[in-house]
Chains A and B, each alone.
Chain A
Amino acid sequence: MPEILMKGLTKKFGGLTAIDSLDLHVKDGEYLTILGPTGAGKTTLLRLIAGLTAQDSGEISVNGKPLGSMPPEERQVAFLSQTYSLFPHMDVWKNTVFGPVARGWEKKKVDVIGREMLEMVHLYERKDAKPGELSGGMQQRNALARALCADAKILLLDEPLRALDARLRLDLRYELRKLVKDMGMTAIHVTHDQEEALTISDRIIMLKAGKIIQSGTPQEMFNRPVSPFIHHFIGEANFISGRMTGYNDGHGILTDELGTAYRTAGSQLEVGSKAVAGIKTEFTVLEKEDKQGVNTFSGIVERKLFLGRFTDFEVILKEGAIVHARLPSSVAHKFGEGDAVFVHYSPERLIVFPEPEKGLKSELEMV
C-alpha cells in the first residue's frame, strides 16, 4: 500500500531553488492536490517522485523504503501529463498494455490484465481506436487503465484537466477522483486552478517558491488560510493593513492608518503589533442601507463586471480604498455603476495575519 514520505527534499536549477528542503507525508489512498502559482516547483516535485529528475539532497521513500536513485521504470509511479501522454501511434489496447509488455510479461497474462482494466473503465469496445479518436473523458480513462495495468500504485497528474474545455473539465474532475478512489491508488495532482483543487482533493498542499506554506483539507484551506497569499490565492480577498488595537468578545480590533477600526475574527496577535486583515470577495457584502452598524463603510460603485453566475463589483470607499465584492448575479441588479452603497465585512470572515515580512504587496505577488 503506497504511502509516500519526503524528507528534506531539495532541487536546484542553477541558482534557482525549485524545491527547498521539503517534508511531506502522503497517506495511503489519499488524493492530494498540490496548488501553487506558476514556478512554485509543483511539476519539479512530481518529477522528483517519479524519478525523472534527481534530487540534490533529501530522500523520498515509499512504504518506508527509500527510493534513492531508483530509475523511473522500477518505481511503480505513473506520471501523466496534461494530455495523459497516450502514445498517438498506438491504439487503446496497445497503450493499455504498454507497461506489462515493456516488462516482458507473458502474453496470456498481458491479455487478461489488459482486458480486465479496459473493462473496468468501460473502454474494451474501443480497444482498436487511436487516442485521437477518443473523447477527453475516454482518454482520461484509457490513461488510468494504462497506469493500473503497469501496476502503478501511485498516480502523478500534472495539470491533467488543463487542456480540456471548461464544461468537460468540470465533469472529468468528478470522474477522475472517483476512478482513482475506486482503484485504491494514491494520487498527487498538480494544478494552479484553486477551484479544481477545492473540489477534487482530500487534502491540498500550497506550494510557493519550493516550500509548503500550508497543508489542509479544502475547507481548512479556504476558511483558515495561514497567510494573506493563500487567502488571496484560494478565492480573491480584500486586505486592510493596520495594527491590532485590542480584543473584544473573541473578536479582534484592527485600526488602519486613518484611524478606522475594524472588527475582525479572533487571533493570537499581540495588541499593538502590525497586522493585515483580509476578507474574501464572496463574503464582502453590499447593501443599500447601513443595517449592521459595525464594519460598514460607504462608497460608490465604480465598475460592475458580469461574470455569468457571479457579478464583480468594484467599490471606491470614501477614504479612497478600492474594495471588490462578488455577488450572485441573481441579486446584482440591485446595484448599478455610480450608485452609493455600503460595504459590510462580517467580523468572522475578516481574517487577521501578522504583517508579512516584505509587506503586503510583495506577499501577494504570484511568484
Chain B
Amino acid sequence: MTTYFNEMYDSGKVRPPYARLEDWTRSMPAELREMKQAEAEALFRRIGITFAVYGEGGDPDRLIPFDMFPRVFTSGEWARLERGIKQRARALNAFLVDVYGRGEIVRAGRIPGRLVYRNAAYEKAVVGFVPSKGVYSHVVGIDLVRTGADEFFVLEDNCRTPSGVSYMLENREIMMRMFPDLFRGNRIEPVDSYPEKLRRTLASVAPTKCERDPTIVILTPGHFNSAYYEHSFLADLMGVELVEGADLFVEGEYVFMRTTEGPKRVDVIYRRVDDDYIDPLCFRPDSMLGIPGLMDVYRSGGVSICSAPGAGVADDKAVYTYVPEMIRFYLGEEPLLKNVPTWQCSKTDDCKYVLENLHELVVKEVHGSGGYGMLVGPKSTKAEIEAYRARVEADPGNYIAQPTLALSTTPTFVDEGIAPRHVDLRPYCLVGERVELVPGGLTRVALTEGSLVVNSSQGGGVKDTWVLAE
C-alpha cells in the first residue's frame, strides 16, 4: 500500500503553513461553502475563463473546476524550489544556444546527437543564429510533483508556450474577492506582478536592430484556440496588442502591424503559435496562421520571437532525461531538483523492463502532452495494459516510462466535505536579461478520488497556490 504525503496533515498533526486554514474550514458551514462555490463558478463564467477540452466533444466553454481550498508553501520551501527552477531554466537555455551553435554537449558525448539532431523539434532553419540575450525559452513552465516533506521531482519541462498562467492570476483574484479575511489573516506573497514582469522580460530581449522602446505584441492562432482566453487576458494586463497572423506583415527588413493609424513596426512577438505555422516561406507552406517572410526578418535581427523557433528540442521527453547532465555541463552545478527516473523504450534493455512492468509504470508518448495517450499502469485494466503493450511494441522509440509517483495530496472540497486529492505544480519562470519567478504557480488537482492524472483535459481542476511571506 502506497502512502501519500499529505501537505496539510503530517502524522495526524497540522503542518504549520496550513494552521490558519484549519480554523477557516472549521468555521465554515456546509451551506456557506456551497454558496461560495457557486459564487466562484459564476465569477469564472463572468470573466469568460473557459478551457476547451480536445477530443472530448461536448461543451467547448466548459469551466475548469476551481477548488477553493488553497495549496500552501512556506517561504523556506519556496526558496528551495525557486533556486532549483531558475537553475533548470538557465541550463535549458544554455543547451538551446549550444545545440544551435557548436553543439559542445554532443561533442563531449554527454547527450546522444541523434536525440538532438534527428529530433522533429530541432529547427535546422535557426542553426547558427543566436537570439537576443541568448534566450530561446522566455517562459519556462516546469511541472513539479511532491512526494514528501522535502522531496520534489520535475515531471517535465515546457519550453515553448506553456499555458495556464491566467489561472494562476484568476484563481488568486477570485479567492481574494470571496475570502478577503483569509488574506488579511495570512501574509501571502502576491502574484499579480506577473504580467508586468513578463512585459519587462519581453522588452529586455528586443532585437539588435531595435533602438527605441520596443513594441510588443501577442500572436494568437485565433479565438478557436483553447488558450485564446489566456492570450487576450495577458495582452490586456500587459497593455499590448493581441494580433493574428493576418494583422502582421513583412516589409523590407521589418515586421509591421496594421493599425487604424497606419502600419506600426513590431519588435517583439510573444507567439502562442507553433513553429511549423509561423512562416509559410520557411516552414509549412500551407499555414494560414503565420506571417510570410517573418523568419528572414527574425534571422537578420529585425524582430524577436518568444519563445524562439527551435526551443522545443529542449522539452522533448527523451531529451528531458539529460537535463541534470545539462546543469552539470553548462553551470558546473549539481541539480537542485530531481528528475523522475525514466526508461526510454528506444533502448532495448529499458524497453524489455517496461514491457515486463507495465502494470506499475506510467508510460507516455515522447511527443505527447496534456495527458493524452498515456498509460497509468496501476490504474488500468488488464485489457488496457495489453492494448498499450501492442502500441509500445509497434513503435518503441515513441515511448518513455516512469515509476508511478506517490503524488502528494492537499485537502480539497468534495461532495462529502473535505478529502485529500493529488496535486502537481506548474510555476512559470521568466527568462530575459534576468531570470525571475513570481512566488506561486498553477496547482492542478485530480478531482477524482485516487486519480493521479491532474491534466485539465482529463478532468483535473485548479487551486490557488500560496507562498507565505517570512
Q: Do A and B actually bind? A: no
B residues whose Cβ falls under 8 Å from a Cβ of A:
none
